[in-house]
Structure 1
Amino acid sequence: MENKMKDGKKTNSMCFTKKTSCVRRRYKEFAWLRQRLQDNAVLISLPEIPPKITFLSTSNAKVLEQRRQGLQEFLEKVLQSNILLSDSRLHLFLQTQLCTTEIEACVSGLTDYTVSDAVHRHATSSQRFPVEEV
């Protein structure tokens, strides 16, 4: 399942480089983000994401819309936490098209670009970045 806001999501938060973002993310990427945020902020109770639905039929628009809304609510709650807003993974998740492997490589310093570089480059290009092998 992919989740995409039709016109992008806007922010006036000074925490974000780009003021409008529109990215496609799969359910498993939301699950990954929630786990990484929880790993880095162990004292915070993160909101849940909607449960994974096995054998989901893409023809069931109501179920898909409910799950999309649940993922949107998850993000809205996450964005209310100043501690979570400091996590680079969240910024890359929301403001770039990088996959989770590329996000991890970037925040771990295994790329030739910084988090800021990735966000700025994404603003002008949808090009993927190479990951350096260790």
Structure 2
Amino acid sequence: MEDVVENLTRLEFVSVWVRDPKIQREDFWHAHIDYEIGIHTNSMCFTKKTSCVRRRYSEFVWLKHRLQENALLMDLPELPPRNPFFSLNNAQHVSQRMRGLQKFLDVILQNPVVLSDSCLHLFLQSQLSVTKMEACASGQTRFSVDQAIQRCGCELRRFHSQEELAVQGKTCCDSDCESTASSGLGHSSEASSADKDTPMKDGNPCDLAAPGQGELFSCLSASPYEKQQVQP
């Protein structure tokens, strides 16, 4: 029996990717970038087996802080450091940060202790803002973590090919809340609903307004799991 359980455990997988950086415009002066976070898994730890959300760098910082608090003395991998010279127009900066975020998720998703943390699941599979994730994880909302994830209908239908992503936009650049005037930001989109504490409607724990139609780094959009096709 133990051999069967061990074999089933070995067959479990969690694939995650970070790609498709898009500028989200907050107001005339400020913008930030967010990234597509995709999950494909057969693990019993996850409410949804496929999902896709968008998160920004500051939300990754929040996630690590919460995971570290809950994991106590356990060492967590480092996030890519803040760069005071981070440029909206430097694709290399964006690429380096994106690879660092990918590495961070790759490591923590191999840790069984971290996989039991509600904040991680809300971060990966809901569109809740940081404030709402905090409230939900601490039981201060009328909906549970599973309900928040299930009722946020941003579920992945399939992996996009690099060609499809390239058609969606042109090259753009990023800042984590930098002034668009001083950085030379050109094209941008409306702010993502994930960063706003918008009122809930009809008891839905998250406002599912579609992410802004920002331009993307087509050259940085490829996923390490690009060849893996997920059927609806």
TM-score (norm 1): 0.87
Alignment partner, residue 134 of structure 2 = 104
Q: Sort the Cα spacing of 1:77 and 1:129 in 2 relative to 1 into closer, same or farther, 3 A.
A: farther
Quick check: which has more Rg, 1 or 2?
2
CA distance in 2, matches of 1:70, 1:13: 24
Higher RCO (CA 8 Å, separation ≥ 6 residues): 2
Consecutive unaligned residues in structure 2, runs of 5 or more: 1-32, 156-192, 206-232
Residue 9 of structure 1 deviates from its aligned partner by 2.9
CA spacing shift, 1:10–1:129, aligned 2, 3 Å: farther
Quick one: which amino acid aligns to residue 39 of structure 1?
Answer: E
Aligned match of 2:144: 114
Partner of 1:4: 36
Q: CA deviation at 1:129?
A: 6.5
After TM superposition, give the deviation of residue 55 of structure 1 in Å.
4.0
Percent of matched pairs sharing the same residue: 53
Residue-by-residue CA offset, 1:14-53 (whole Å, 9 max, x unaligned):
1111111211111111011001000000121000000012
Q: Which of the numbers 118, 127, 130 marks the counterpart of 1:88?
A: 118
Partner in structure 1 of residue 89 of structure 2: 59
Distance 1:14 1:115 in 2: 15
Q: CA deviation at 1:117?
A: 0.4
- How many residue pairs are counted as aligned between the two chains? 129
Of 43, 56, 59, 1:29 maps to 59
Structure number with higher helix proportion:
1
SS of aligned partner of 1:40? helix
Aligned partners of 1:124, 1:2: CA distance in 2, in Å?
A: 15
Partner amino acid, structure 2, of 1:70 = G
Q: What CA RMSD, in Å, does the superposition of the two structures yield over aligned residues?
A: 2.1
Paired with 2:105 and 2:91, the residues of 1 have a C-alpha distance of: 21
TM-score normalised per structure 2: 0.52
**Separation in 2 of the partners of 1:96 and 1:43?**
27
Cα distance in 1 for residues equivalent to 2:132 and 2:151 = 14
Contact 2:53 2:154 in 1 (8 A): no
Residue equivalent to 2:216: none
Aligned to 1:4, the other structure's residue is in SS state strand
Which amino acid in structure 1 is aligned with residue 107 of structure 2?
A: K
Stretches of structure 1 that go unaligned for 5 or more consecutive residues are: none
Question: How has the CA–CA distance of structure 1 residues 55 and 124 changed in structure 2, closer, same or farther, with 3 Å as cutoff?
Answer: closer
